[in-house]
Amino acid sequence: MQKLITSNIIPADHPINGLPKRLKIKYLRGLGEALCGIEPNSQMGYKAKFCFDVLCEHFIGEKIEDGWTYSGCNKYIKAAQSLNRIGFRFFRMSDCFWWDVYRIAYQSGLPLSYDMYDKVFKKTTGIFTHKFREAAKKHFFADGDGKVLPSSLTIQSFAELSFHKRPTKRLLIVGTMSAGKSTLVNALVGHKVAKVKTTVCTTALSYLYNNPFRETVLYSDGTSFVISIGNEITQENIPNKAIKFMGSLESLPIVITDTPGVDYAYDSSHKKITYDAIERGDYDILVCVCNGPYIERNGENDLIDHVLKQKNKKILFIFNQLDRFDPADDSIEESLKQFKRLLKNKKSEAGIVPISAKAAYLLKKEMKSTLSKFEEVELRSLKEKMSSIFYDFGMYGTGVCSKEEDFFARSGLTNLETIILNK
């Protein structure tokens, strides 16, 4: 699922863009027949059909209801390959056709069996089209160079293949209800992907995938996929979501697992869900968000103790909401020293990152020019605070004063993203 949810399903500058609708339908029918012939009904088959339906809606504005059909005689496959490119009478669509077939097979995990080869592919490729098919297969499944494939398309797929070859970094985000966990998730992603309320928000595990190839949101419940129209999360009840992250993490294969707040008084299952996720260890970095001004609360102490029981795991404690400290009465430096002593006493090498997640999130919204009037006022106030040394949260993390106008550094987000990238 991860490969599909982080893929570019709709390629730019596809050769069929300029064809009349009736010829687009002919091409798409051939594509549907080839993919359906490989694997019509399996788990991987429904992923391929989703990609097929997305292409149909993109190119012709609707699904082809009977397009996911294998005729048995490969007539649609042959017809699709025989189409002429616009402006090139004697140049057929065979190259991009097989590029599409193997691209979707790769994204959806379709098996490339000998049965499929004999039944579908061998019977539909002659001497000249055979080289395109073999080049496409090697490009996606055997690190081929794709030189005989359409250059505009292979450039895109090389970027995607390179992205998927990089190791995925997995973050597990935990915290109490008031620690600012959801705001931190929104700040890392750069979009409103987690609800921010004073009441309970997250009730189960939610997975957020970075997809650098799409501006819109791709949802999956594990059995189906849906692409949203906008670029904000609107379907909270679907556990898997993919969107292009903003900032330093945008080129990194990364999965953020968001968890319920552990101290919800009316449902003890929230704590169990979170603690089970911690103990499973299915993550590279365990990120525990703490409410900086109220770090001594019982609920938070219990969570901290449980986090510190995890051995041989990379752990980050996020000291959040430090913008609420009052220079007249509070000391950020002393609070951090006290927590460092706690970690030392427990023989933990966990890292500590001071931050204002709210400032970081609003700064990313400012980049997109999506701030509301209230948020503009709120961010202006936070910038005024962060202009003073006391509220330079990046400095507390790095030991070096941040540049005067670098508010991302002053919010602490630059330090956090750098740590994530390098851990």
Give 270's contacts (C-beta < 8 A, 6+ positions apart). 200, 203, 260, 261, 262, 264
Query: Is the same domain home to 90 and 47?
Result: yes
Q: Of the residues 119, 144, 165, which one is the last residue of a structural domain?
A: 165
Give 193's contacts (C-beta < 8 A, 6+ positions apart). 185, 186, 208, 232, 233, 241, 243
Which pLDDT belongs to residue 155? 78
Window from 55-64, 138-147, 380-389, 411-420 with minimum mean pLDDT: 138-147
Q: Output the domain CATH number for residue 255.
A: 3.40.50.300
Query: Is the same domain home to 160 and 173?
Result: no
Query: Is the same domain home to 159 and 176?
Result: no
Tally of domains in the chain: 2
Q: Of the residues 165, 181, 209, which one is the last residue of a structural domain?
A: 165
Query: 52-58: which pairs have CB atoms within 8 A and are 24 or more residues apart?
Result: 52/28, 52/104, 54/9, 54/10, 54/227, 55/9, 55/10, 55/28, 55/31, 55/100, 56/28, 58/10
Judging by beta carbons within 10 Å of its beta carbon (0-12, 13-18, 19+), is residue 248 exposed, middle or buried?
middle
Query: Is the same domain home to 313 and 280?
Result: yes
Res. 201: pLDDT tops 60: no
Query: Is the same domain home to 144 and 275?
Result: no
Window from 101-105, 211-215, 221-225, 249-253 with minimum mean pLDDT: 221-225
Q: What's the whole-number average pLDDT of the chain? A: 85
Judge whether 110 and 102 are in contact, CB under 8 Å. Answer: no
Query: Is the same domain home to 177 and 137?
Result: no
Judge whether 187 and 357 are in contact, CB under 8 Å. Answer: yes
Query: Is the same domain home to 203 and 157?
Result: no
Which pLDDT belongs to residue 420? 93
Give 218's contacts (C-beta < 8 A, 6+ positions apart). 5, 9, 211, 225, 226, 227, 228, 241, 242, 243
Angle at 206 between CA 299 and CA 294, to 5 degrees: 25
Q: Of the residues 165, 186, 211, which one is the last residue of a structural domain?
A: 165
The parent domain of residue 186 ranges over 169-422
Judging by beta carbons within 10 Å of its beta carbon (0-12, 13-18, 19+), is residue 312 exposed, middle or buried?
exposed
| 359 or 92, greater pLDDT | 359
| 421 or 116, greater pLDDT | 421
Binning pLDDT at 50, 70 and 90, where does residue 41 land?
low
Query: Is the same domain home to 132 and 213?
Result: no
Judge whether 140 and 132 are in contact, CB under 8 Å. Answer: no
CA–CA distance, 63 with 139 (Å, rounded to integer): 28
Res. 123: pLDDT tops 90: no
pLDDT, average across residues 358-373 = 93
Query: Is the same domain home to 295 and 363?
Result: yes
| 342 or 119, greater pLDDT | 342
Query: Is the same domain home to 144 and 233?
Result: no
pLDDT, average across residues 316-340 = 91
Query: Is the same domain home to 104 and 244?
Result: no
Statement: the pTM of the whole predicted model exceeds 0.85 = yes
Highest mean pLDDT (candidates 11-20, 103-112, 327-336): 327-336
Window from 40-54, 63-77, 91-105, 209-223 with minimum mean pLDDT: 40-54
Would strands 254-258 and 206-210 be described as parallel, antiparallel, or unpaired?
antiparallel
Hey, what are 185's tokens? 């998730």
Which pLDDT belongs to residue 57? 92
244-280 tens-digit pLDDT: 999 999 989 999 999 988 866 556 788 899 999 999 9
Query: Is the same domain home to 75 and 216?
Result: no
CA-closest candidate to residue 232, choices 197, 195, 201, 257: 195
62-101 tens-digit pLDDT: 999 888 888 778 888 888 888 876 655 446 788 888 889 9
